[in-house]
Amino acid sequence: MSGFKEPDAERKSGVAVIKAEYVISDHKRTLLLDCITESDKEKLAAQDGDNNNKCNDNTDDASQPYKKQKLSKGEKKRLRGQNKARPMPFKHNQEMSLCRTLIDVAENEELPICNNYKCSFLHDVSAYLAAKPPDLNSTCYVYSTQGRCPRGASCRFGSQHLTPSGRNIINFSLYERHLKAKSTVNHLDKSIQFNLRKRCYDFSKSGSVIAKYDKYKGKISNGNSKNSVEQNENSKQQRTESGEDNTFCPVDGDTGLICEIEPENISESENCIDGGGAKSSHNSRQCGAITDEDVIQVRKEERKQVNWKGKLYLSPLTTVGNLPFRRICKEFGAEITCGEMAMATSLLQGLQQEWALVKRHTSEDLFGVQLCGNNPHVMTRCAQMLEETTHIDFIDINLGCPIEFVYQQGGGSGLLRREKALESVIRCMSNVIDLPLTLKTRTGVYTDKNILHTLIPKFQDWGVSLVTVHGRSREQRYTKKADWDYIEQCAQLGAPVPVFGNGDVLSYEDYEQALVNSPSVAGIMIGRGALIKPWIFTEVKEQRHWDISSSERLDILKKYVNYGLEHWGSDTKVTERLHHLYLINFN
């Protein structure tokens, strides 16, 4: 590849570059005795009698500084207790929190009355303001940029926009401009939440698609003769060569309308199996213009097309890939962004915390939602709902989550071992939506048994638009080196479906080396590299190392905090959350 520079031979692949003057070469790991359990202290006391006295001194006198005891490698390995010295997590006290009806009250509005007789929050604004901790700063970023702070009296920067009585001051010119801009979309509408919780949402479209698939699979398994199977394979090969979609719903090749398969006509209709999800009868006669989408079948080539080739893809990082972090990465050159993994069942239940993962900033010009589920009924309904109620560009299926609970339920990487369930999920979702459907997957479940190469050739037939391959198995998690040779093998087998590679890209040199090792990939997804340095996207585009200054790093951190205040709010609970995410993302 032109412009490619060979990486330093002494540098290990997958290791972030740090200047030598910042590396502590003589550092030795030591054990903090106040953080180990009593049983581990007894083990140490048995090895060295003096250690017991040191442990007791640290335990009895809390004012003494922490004392560290040097241990051998074998001693460290034997001590596997919990860290008992960790501080307690932040606990939100409802009785000292102001009721939501009283938080955001404009200075010219009457004080509303809470009608919830079970409400356990505080309803005395004066008492709340008296007990409220002091402000963290005199300037509220949300008020300065939006003209109105929705956290009102609970804002930890409220001195700028609160009256002495706790009323919220509004800058109407800024606020009207903010409302017109709609910087964040995909909020959960209360009517949609109500319909989901009362199970009143219309999922008839998904039900029709799933019923057609079940009917088709039943007839394929029970009613096919040998001639019908051979005829179907020949027809399937012809449609593949002509570039048509090859999914389960039978479609008339001339009109584009879906055929209804009758039991007595199975052998006649098997040669017209194609993609779709609408209802129509092949033999029914139509009069007049047909404009209903339930009658006209949308073919794959008519759906929204995305040019994935060569784009920089920010990985959907669970917990840390939040909207403020994605905004930072977009400013540094990321081109494709995807929300954090969202559980399909939680979205269908209308849970506010899960719907927060679907929110999209206006700067994200190519944005998708990643879903995790284990059966076609839930995944298809969720895909239909997202297409109808949100503004997104694609839907991604998570086939790589290694979490034990998700895996045991058959979701995430657990779907890789359930090929029939995986096929039904992909086919049904592809037929119920007009958006591109993508996958993010691992190489397999076990370290010594890659299975993706057996599945990836089938993805085009099932209706997948893009496959992202994380070059590790579920067992390897993130500790082993990514297998880019296997990613190249999968990219060749998956053609013409574009395949992205993912794993161990921490610099622009790693990026270009990955393209050299896997020339068949359409692009590369970057995950931990962006967590270490969000400006990696700029480095890749400009093909250089960016020796970013400390002041520039501090500006990035300030911007992340401000974006977090704008996204989550500025009350005490959110500021504690930002402290936590600040440490995770940038330390």
Write down the catalytic residue from 155, 338, 372, 401.
401
Radius of gyration of the chain (CA): 28
The two structure tokens encoding residue 243: 């570039």
Is 401 among the residues known to form the active site?
A: yes
State whether residue 5 is helix, strand or coil.
coil
Strands (E), 119-205: 184-185
Burial 483-511 (b: 16+ CB within 10 A, else e): bbebbbbbbbbbeebbbbbbbbbbbbbbb
The answer to whether the CB of 186 falls within 8 A of the CB of 360 is yes
Which of 569, 567, 573, 583 is CA-nearest to residue 340? 567
Round to whole Å and give the CA distance between 36 and 39. 8
Instruction: Name 282's Cβ contacts closer than 8 Å, sequence gap at least 6.
Output: 250, 252, 257, 258, 259, 260
Q: What does the block give as tokens for 302?
A: 């008519």
Burial 185-198 (b: 16+ CB within 10 A, else e): ebbbeeebbeebee
**Rounded to whole angstroms, how far apart are CA atoms 479 and 423?**
30
Q: Which residues pair with 337 in a beta bridge?
A: 367
Strand partners, 343: 372
> Which residues contact residue 487 at a Cβ distance below 8 angstroms, ignoring those fewer than 6 apart?
469, 471, 499, 501, 503, 518, 521
Q: Are 400 and 389 in contact (CB under 8 A)?
A: no
* Full DSSP string of 83-116: -TTPPPPP---GGGSB-HHHHS-BTTSPPP----
Q: Which residue, 347, 338, 340, is CA-closest to 319?
A: 340
Give the residue carrying structure tokens 């002495």: 164
Q: Which residues are catalytic?
A: 401
